[in-house]
Amino acid sequence: MRLAWLTDIHLDFIDPPARAALAAAIRAEAPDGVIVTGDIAIAPTVQALITELGAAIGLPLWFVLGNHDFYRGSVDEVRARATAANQHDSAATWLQAAGVIRLAGASVPTALVGVDGWGDGRLGDFARTRVELNDFYLIDELSRIPRGVLRTRLAAYGDEAAATLAPLLAEALTWAEHVIVATHVPPFREACWHEGAISDDNWLPFFTCAATGEVIRAALAAVPRARATVLCGHTHSSGEATILPNLTVLTGAADYGHPRLQRILEL
């Protein structure tokens, strides 16, 4: 089985011919399915554009949402639209509401699970960083709130992702020998790549989801017979990290206006 992986494609930065060319380039690789790990567009257009891409490719497409996907809108509203689309046989499936996906045709029993994830403020130095993201101005739930409230809310989003992921991993690991975990935000410091190096304490609070990392590490440590590959993005820089002998994290690179295929996963 062959899965195409893309991340941080920002389809709202490109015109319809370029979006059609991206779909054609994916089809040319003859994958059996496609995974997109977030930052697809912005809130008003994300559902339409990911559905358009899925229809143009004509293959199963699974996605998680990234922080940019909530810009100029609400987290709750975007997720509600994604959930509704799942229920109406959309050309693209939001993984966070899809449960455990059995990937038929892989060489070993393989599961796909996914959650959006969030920079949850736990790694690095939240108290001293001067980094401010557009998230804190363009996402309704995070817009212009006191710093202490922001920290609590980011942690809550991280906890929500972890609480969603934990039972999915537990279910998948009862039968799967390989689990693909799709998420937007790197779940470990070691996977938070920026231009060939690990992000420093100023950026780590907003570019890692420690809560999901704890869940993934514990699950794979408890089941050494299985292995997991985590696919993530968010940092716009590529890298690979081995967290445990059976746990690898791939972080994808991106350039605004130039979406591309990260790699083909041979399963």
Determine the Cα–Cα distance for residues 108 and 89; give it in Å rounded to an integer: 28
Separation CA 170–CA 168 (nearest Å): 5
Q: Provide the CATH number for the domain around residue 95.
A: 3.60.21.10
What pLDDT is stored for residue 58 in this prediction? 95
Q: What's the CA gap between 95 and 85, in Å, rounded?
A: 12
Q: What are phi and psi of 85, to 5 degrees?
A: -65, -40
- Structural domain boundaries enclosing 201: 2-266
So what's the pLDDT on residue 93?
Answer: 97
pLDDT digits (tens, 9 = 90+) for 55-73: 999 999 999 999 999 999 9
Q: What pLDDT does 88 receive?
A: 84
CA gap 55, 57 in Å, rounded: 5
Tokens of 71: 């810009």
Phi, psi angle pair for 35, to nearest 5°: -120, 130
**List of the chain residues with pLDDT < 50:** none
pLDDT digits (tens, 9 = 90+) for 81-114: 999 999 987 799 999 999 999 999 999 999 999 9
- Provide the domain count of the chain: 1
pLDDT at 235: 97
Q: Report the pLDDT value the prediction gives residue 237, as an integer from 0 to 100.
A: 96
Distances 167 to 54, 84, 111, 215 between C-alpha atoms, Å: 27, 22, 13, 10
Model pTM score: 0.96
